[in-house]
Amino acid sequence: MTPQDISSYPAHAGDLFGELHLSATTLDTMGAPAAPRDPLWPGLAVCGTASLAAAWLSEHYGFPIILLGLLVGLALSFLGHEPRMHRGLDYAARTFLRVGIVVLGFQVTFAQIGALGAVPFLALLVVMAAAFAAGLGAARLVGQSTHSGILAGGATAICGASAALALYGVIGKARLSQAQFALTLVGVSLASAFAMSVYPVIAAELGLNDRQAGFLIGASIHDVAQAIGGGYAFSDAAGSHATIVKLARVALLAPLVALVSLAIGPGDPSGGDGQPMWRRLALPWFIVAFLAVLSFNSLVAVPVAATDALLTLSKGLLLLAVTATAMRSRLELLLEVGWRAIVPTLAATLASFAAALAFALWLV
């Protein structure tokens, strides 16, 4: 094999998955049979068990389930070093994420977005833009990559961990390490849990009415469950309005991911130049499916019981994806990333709250 042959292989991040892929590619190229792949079930079984533990802890102690899935996964990250676990964990982190995003489309309709009204919707867009810009600006300020700013700003602007997972699927681990991604998820989940407890109190102290409080909470709290819970903690009317505002943000997940995908190119930068233009401009399939499900849910009245069951399914799939991603993270890299990894998320959170409060006081 010549040096030219070796240089023609795609670059990988130096991880074990890349080495295994390169080895298999080399064998195929030389005509030798590729080694049999490891089964999925060991990684899926470990991921499922860890996710069930996180769900039990969430139910009994009241912590956000996604945050607990992330922490349990990080605690079990030593299992992610076992080669037999890799295929199952990678499958859960990739496939369950995408299916969970698609199923999330059953939670919102175009009619709910229209019920928000033109002025509040435009104000919501400004709030989201402020969060996104703050994430990018803070990342640059502390020396983080642009992709970390995109991840933090987009997750804060849309729907927390779900948006972070969708954006990371577009960004790819070649651009942003799993350690950076895991810390962003920690920051987003903690900020969302904190906001659910504090924002309703701030709204009450400022004397906001139900509509103002609903807009503030729905426009600035990251996670869907925490935004709705925070709204109803203020009042039933505020909870209903916060739900509409929050679901409008969820509906904008697809446009944001599409814009990010077009702006940064394919997830594997080494393979984008040789692709035809229509392939490079094509949206990820799970975003197209999300839009299709949202459109179907807008045209067909899905029973409430089915919607609730689909929400549970979506949360379960996203929990599995988060847990698997955390288990594949390397804790030593988390320490190397340091405190700067959290700064973009904090900046985006503060910008989102400030902009939402300003519009709640003056325009809503």
**Confidence at residue 159, expressed as pLDDT on a 0 to 100 scale:** 80
| Residue in 269, 293, 327, 307 with CA at minimum distance from that of residue 54 | 327
Query: Can you give the pLDDT at residue 334?
Result: 59
Q: How far apart are CA 271 and CA 241, in angstroms?
A: 45
What is the chain's pLDDT, residue by residue, as a tens digit (364 residues)?
Answer: 444 444 444 443 334 333 334 344 443 444 444 455 778 888 899 999 999 999 999 888 877 787 788 788 888 888 877 888 888 888 888 788 788 878 878 877 888 778 778 888 899 999 999 999 999 999 999 888 899 999 999 989 988 877 888 888 788 888 888 777 878 887 887 788 788 878 988 999 999 999 999 999 999 988 777 787 788 888 878 887 887 888 788 878 888 888 888 888 765 544 444 444 445 445 667 777 888 888 898 888 888 888 888 888 888 888 888 888 778 776 665 566 667 778 899 999 999 999 999 999 886 5
Under a CB-based contact definition with an 8 Å cutoff, are residues 123 and 214 in contact? no
Do 349 and 191 contact (CB within 8 A), yes or no?
A: yes
The domain limits of the chain are: 40-362
Contact between residue 336 and residue 192 where contact means Cβ atoms under 8 Å apart: no
Continuous H helices in the chain: 3-7, 16-30, 41-61, 65-75, 83-91, 97-104, 110-114, 118-141, 146-157, 161-171, 178-205, 210-220, 224-234, 236-251, 253-264, 277-281, 285-299, 304-327, 331-337, 343-362
Residues 32 and 113: their CA atoms lie apart, in Å, by 56
**What is the model's pLDDT at position 4?**
45
